[in-house]
Structure 1
Amino acid sequence: MTKLVSAVQAASLIRDGMVVSVSSSSGLGCPDAVLAAIGEHFEAEGHPKNITTLHPIAAGDMYGIRGIDHLAKPGLLKRTLCGSYPSGPSSSEPPQIWKMIGDNSVAAYNVPSGILFDMHREAAAKRPGVLTKVGLDTFADPRHQGCAMNAAASEPIVSVQQFDGEEWLYFRSIVPDVSIIRATTADERGNLTYEHEGAYLGGLEQALAARNNGGTIIAQVKRVVENGTLKPHDVRVPGVLVDHIVVAPDQLQTTLTSYDPAISGEIFRPLSTFRNTEMSVQKVIARRVAMELADGMAVNIGFGISANVPRILLEEGQHGKVTWVIEQGAVGGVPLLDFKFGCSSNADAFMPSPHQFIYFQGGGFDASLLSFLQIDRHGSVNVSKLSARPHVTAGAGGFVDITARAKKIVFSGFFNAGAKLSLADGGIRIDGEGKVKKVVGEVEHISFSGKRAVAQGQDITYVTERCVMKLTPDGLMVTELAPGIDLQRDVLAQAEVPLGVANDLKVTPDALYRDRPIGLSLNGGASLGGAHV
């Protein structure tokens, strides 16, 4: 009996009240054709109603792959648990899912991505849930928001439990009735290979969670081939776990990318083909972040300024000294920017995302380079929610999993929002002060807990265009000042809380501010040093 069905037929399999798990990371690996068909089926038939969706990383974006927005219709979507949500520029119309979150027409939860994968694994094994320390004293903790994004998310999904004399967060398993996953190729039996994909993501775990609980698995693919023509070692999801196959030959590899064989590891690009980052204040910050690295490190990077650090190492002849590890699963290579973020070219390996998150949650890597929206007096960081710009902040994704036990974290961003800045005379010039302070008394949303970081002895650094700060048991301390910046006027007076100042306050090397290589060396540590003030 054939497993091939149309997207319309697949959509008709979703019944009222079902729990549907979707494998995707923004545009990467998104089964958009099936999601679109579900939305169209609801418009035509009024069904399915009141479904719950699970999106461990994210589903869709604002740039051609709508993902969850196909389902963002009152009456169709009742509840959703996402690692993150589609975001867009502040000048654009917000995604429909954000409108539903804002008017409380959907119960929306932002669950750390690794924990959502853990919940699938526990559901597959018919265990009751996830016991974890990831998320303590963050928005995932029920003593804060408990992952709830709006008032409609009133049903608790996490509790605090005492176990073996320690405090843990407990997330109950959620069993999917249907899992919708994506691959490149299916044979007639439903065996799936991922040769054109930029990551494996968590399709296997999501399929197991549905299969072991009597559910249905739908796979969207580019093509179907004859039985026996796929190599067994290449099959990532076996056909015994796949019920239905939907062929979507035009599925994009990732956002605005039809197909790039370097993303899927089929070819290696010459390093000379990667463009250098143009000279800017952001590049200066990325250069200073790069100085925190050392030869042999395994380093995670996030979206934002820190995503440019691999290009700094390329420009400085230091590529290969650091192995980059990203949550979508790529290990090594050159992490990509902009709409291809989450993919790498020339990767050494692709880990399934759930396994990559085990690596992160246990702190097996050396450092993480991440961004911030706000920093508070405890050193806590918000990346996941700003009430003034809700649809521009997509949620935390894997941020909470990554930072929970990371040995070293370097956060980067601008000291104030909206400041007019320029490079001049080997330093920074503030041409107009920003109106929104980012160093605040209390962050609006705790994505990273400074209190827990101090208790665990984590090494935390904050790099801005004006200064470098370290987290100490006594709070934030300014340890380095940018050339051209006045400590009192431009730093201390611009923070909403008192900042400590190191006795041996240094000046950032002026080489970072000039449009030429800085002579960075990661052999045994960064070679550039800063002069004392």
Structure 2
Amino acid sequence: MNKQLTPEEAANLIPDEATISVSSSSGLGCPDLMLKAIGARFDATGHPRDLTTLHPIAAGDMSGIKGVDYIAKKGLLKKIIGGSYPSGPSTAEPPLIWQMIGNDEVVAYNIPSGILFDMHREAAAKRPGVLTKVGLDTFVDPDRQGCAMNASAAKEPVVRKIEFEGEEWLFFKPIIPQVAIIRATTADERGNLTYEHEGAYLGGFDQALAVRNNGGIVIAQVKRITKSGSMKPHDVRVPGILVDYVVVDPDQKQTTQTVYDPAISGEIFHPLEDFALPDFNIQKVIARRVAMELEAASAVNLGFGISANVPRILLEEGLHGAVTWVIEQGPVGGIPLLDFAFGCASNAEAFVPSPHQFTYFQGAGFDASLLSFLEIDRTGSVNVSKLSFRPHVTAGAGGFVDITARARKIVFSGMFNAGAKVHVEGGKLVIEKEGKLKKLVNEVEHVTFSGRRAIEQGQDITYVTERCVMVLRPEGLVLTEIAPGVDLQTHILDQSEFPLVVARDLKLMDAHLFAPQPFGLKLPQKPQRTLHG
């Protein structure tokens, strides 16, 4: 049976009102040509109409990859459920999907990525749904927004809070997809898929399984087709019994702006000296202080933002390999990449399918997570998912909620104020002008991480900024360190909307952080794990 179709022929198979699961993490693994064909068919014929699309990790318009914006059209897209909706600098205007969500032109939800993958597995096994504590007391909780991103979504709840065995849980019904659009590198004539040029496996297998078990069709976009029997069975990540049709895009990018880098797919290793080290600036000072929170031999998750530079801090300090980095798209080890290649790693030790990586995160199998913040409030809660003063900014949270729900240790990093002008001079922090927007607020606009839950669970939470370090305690946010050159009252206490607790043994941040040369980072050894540790 010949499974190969043109993009146009494959797009013609999608019926009106279908639910489609799309495998991508923004530009990484995006079946861009198929999405373009669906949009073009709608422009020409008015069909397919009223689609619901699922994007477990990220839907977004990225620089060089238009992605979901090909189908962000009124009439075509009725409902969208995504882990996140990031944007690249491809246009001056916000992505079309952001505009549709902000204008309430599409029913839109932000469900944590791990839960979305759990929902696919429940749909595949025809079980009743996902029972989880991930998301309690955050925007996921129906006592807050219940994952709704606009007024239309608020009318159609996707999550309920229920009692089970005397405890509160969140319950998500599975969503049954009729079509899966996934991506790989190579398909053989029987539809077996290999991922040898991909930067991650993502969740294509789980998405295909959910569709296959519910009688739908699976479309795979690939770079090339090979003869049946030429693939090694251990290399096949999605077997042909799950794949109905194959579309070839010989020009598909490996990730957002990368045509092909074999180090991203683990085929070669770049020499360590090939990796650029961060310039000395305020963000590097913060990343250095974050690095001081690590222990050698730890498995550490990384988020987008300042903390993404921490692997390069360790590289500069001669400590590459002392920590194993784990990111939600699936790479384990190596050096995670930056900016809009984030989600990939060069020189990775292994690639784990994203659904399994999220199970690892949800159950707190890792040692620490390094993440960013937009706002922090008096309870220690963090917002990274919504700021209404920036219109049409609806990036969502991705796997942030899955990662933080039970993480034993979290280090949040960011600038103390938004828009402040600061620099380093003579080993001291100089604050030229305060920003107009405070980031330590009485109540965050959107709770992406719950400080109350963290206290209840005994999580170790630290907040690192350019001017101070804080920790979360039952009595509130406790200020433990301040930067040299900073005035406690003027630059810290007066810049917070709520009172900070000043530690009795308040210390100066290490002066070596504020000098350009390597600062002599030493990592304590992580205690040996025991049966109960």
TM-score (norm 1): 0.97
- Cα distance change on mapping 1:392 and 1:513 into 2, 3 Å: farther
The answer for the alignment partner of 2:79 in structure 1 is 79
Residue type matched to 2:430 in 1?
A: R
Structure 1 counterpart of 2:253, one-letter code: L
**1:276 is matched with which residue?**
277
CA distance, structure 2, for counterparts of residue 78 and residue 467 of structure 1: 46
* Cα distance in structure 1, aligned partners of 2:500 and 2:86: 35
Q: For 1:464-503, list aligned pairs within 5 A.
A: 464-503=465-504
DSSP-derived class of the 1:476 partner: strand
Name the SS for the 2:455 alignment partner. Answer: helix
CA drift of 1:456 comes to 0.1
Deviations 1:294-339 (A, max 9, x none): 1111000000000000000000001111000000000000001112
Deviation at 1:128, TM superposition (A): 1.4
RMSD: 1.0
Alignment of 1:168-247 (within 5 A): 168-247=169-248
> How far apart in 2 are the matches of 1:166 and 1:54?
29
- Distance in 1 (alpha carbons) for counterparts of 2:86 and 2:246: 26
CA distance in 2, matches of 1:367, 1:215: 39
Q: Distance in 1 between matches of 2:299 and 2:392?
A: 32
* Cα distance in 2 between the residues matched to 1:393 and 1:368: 23
The alpha-carbon deviation at position 62 of structure 1 amounts to 3.0
Amino acid at match of 1:405: R
Tell me how far 1:24 sits from its aligned partner: 0.2
Residue 60 (structure 1) shift: 3.5
Counterpart-to-counterpart distance in 2, 1:346 and 1:45: 46
2:46 alignment partner AA: G
Please give the per-residue CA displacement for 1:9-36, whole angstroms capped at 9, x wherever unaligned: 1111111100000000010000000000
Q: In structure 2, what is the Cα distance between the partners aligned to 1:57 and 1:461? A: 26
What SS does the corresponding residue of 1:485 show, helix, strand or coil? coil
Aligned to 2:436: 435
| Cα distance in structure 2, aligned partners of 1:425 and 1:86 | 38
Distance (whole Å) between structure 2 residues aligned to residue 423 and residue 217 of structure 1? 55
Matched positions, count = 525
Pick closer, same or farther for the CA change 1:88–1:225 going to 2, 3 Å. Answer: closer
Equivalences for 1:134-533 in 2 at 5 Å? 134-153=134-153, 154-524=155-525
* Partner Cα distance (1:473, 1:86) in 2: 34
Matched residue, 2:531: none
* Structure 1 CA distance for aligned equivalents of residues 326 and 189 of structure 2: 34
Measured in 1, the distance between the counterparts of 2:188 and 2:465 equals 51
Q: Describe the SS at the equivalent of 1:81.
A: strand
Quick check: 399-408 or 79-88, which moved more?
A: 79-88
**Structure 1 runs not aligned, ≥5 long:** 526-533
Q: For residues 399 and 86 of structure 1, do their structure 2 counterparts lie closer, same or farther at Cα, with a shift above 3 Å needed?
A: same
**CA displacement at 1:90 relative to structure 2:** 11
Given the superposition, is the C-alpha separation of residues 90 and 251 from structure 1 closer, same or farther in structure 2, using an over 3 Å criterion?
A: closer
Of all paired residues, the percent bearing the same amino acid is 71
Mapping for residues 67-146 of structure 1, pairs under 5 Å: 67-88=67-88, 92-146=92-146
Deviation at 1:66, TM superposition (A): 1.1
AA aligned to 1:66 is K
Q: Which residue of 2 aligns with 1:50?
A: 50
Instruction: Rate the CA distance shift 1:97–1:91 in 2: closer, same or farther, 3 A.
Output: closer
How far apart in 2 are the matches of 1:149 and 1:392? 11
**SS of residue in 2 equivalent to 1:470:** strand
Closer, same or farther: CA 355–457 of 1 in aligned 2, 3 Å: same
What's the CA shift for 1:89? Answer: 5.3
Provide the rounded CA distance (Å) in 2 between the counterparts of 1:29 and 1:375: 33
TM-aligned CA distance change 1:340 to 1:106, over 3 Å? same
User: 1:60 & 1:224 partners in 2: Cα distance?
Assistant: 27
Q: Which residue of 1 aligns with 2:530?
A: none
**Offset at residue 425 of structure 1 (A):** 1.4
* Number of the residue aligned with 1:531: none
Whole-angstrom CA distance in 1 between matches of 2:421 and 2:372: 19
Q: SS state of the match for residue 261, structure 2?
A: coil
CA contact (8 A) 1:176 1:215 kept: yes
* Letter paired with 1:365: F
Gaps of 5+ in 2: 527-533
Secondary structure in structure 2 of the residue aligned to 1:152: helix
Q: Could you tell me how far 1:92 is from its partner in structure 2? A: 2.1
- Cα-to-partner distance string for 1:416-473 (whole Å, 9 max, x where unaligned): 0000011111121111110000000000000000000000000000000110000000
For the residue of structure 2 that corresponds to 1:339, the secondary structure is: helix
